[in-house]
Amino acid sequence: MMGYGRFGYGLGHTAGGGWFGGLFMLFFGALVLVGIVLLVIWAVRAAGGHGPGHARGQGHAGMTAPPSGAAGHNEAVAIAKRRFASGEITKEQYDEIMGALGG
């Protein structure tokens, strides 16, 4: 019975034949695990729409989405007035905002 070896057919007790095959399998298994974790994170964020910046109508870098229509214009004017009244912006900044809003 030549060629069968002690363990039967194949290379032995590891799939790759030795320590290199074992390290390769360990690395590949870790790579697959990381891929699955990243896929789950992506799926959860895509399904819920709760990625960074999506809360309270915010887009990229924490910027608020521009309001639309007359209701949005009135809201923007009210925010500018509130920021000026609280001292968050100066008179010049308030006038610039009101000029940009056309109000």
pLDDT tens readout for residues 6-26: 555 555 555 555 777 888 889
48 in Cβ contact with 65 (< 8 Å):
no
For residue range 61-78, what is the model confidence (pLDDT) as tens digits? 455 555 556 777 788 888
Predicted confidence (pLDDT) at residue 44 exceeds the cutoff of 80: yes
Percent of residues, the chain, with pLDDT higher than 70:
62
Predicted confidence (pLDDT) at residue 35 exceeds the cutoff of 90: yes
Domain spans of the chain, in order of start:
15-51, 69-103
Task: Give pLDDT, residue 59.
Answer: 47
- Distance (Å, whole) CA 87 – CA 69: 27
Mean model confidence pLDDT for the chain: 75
Give the closest residue to 79 by CA, choosing from 101, 63, 57: 101
State pTM to two decimals. Answer: 0.33
Give the closest residue to 76 by CA, choosing from 101, 56, 57: 101
Name residue, tokens 């949005």. 72
Task: Give pLDDT, residue 37.
Answer: 93
Which tokens belong to 93? Answer: 């900044």
pLDDT (average), residues 65-92: 82
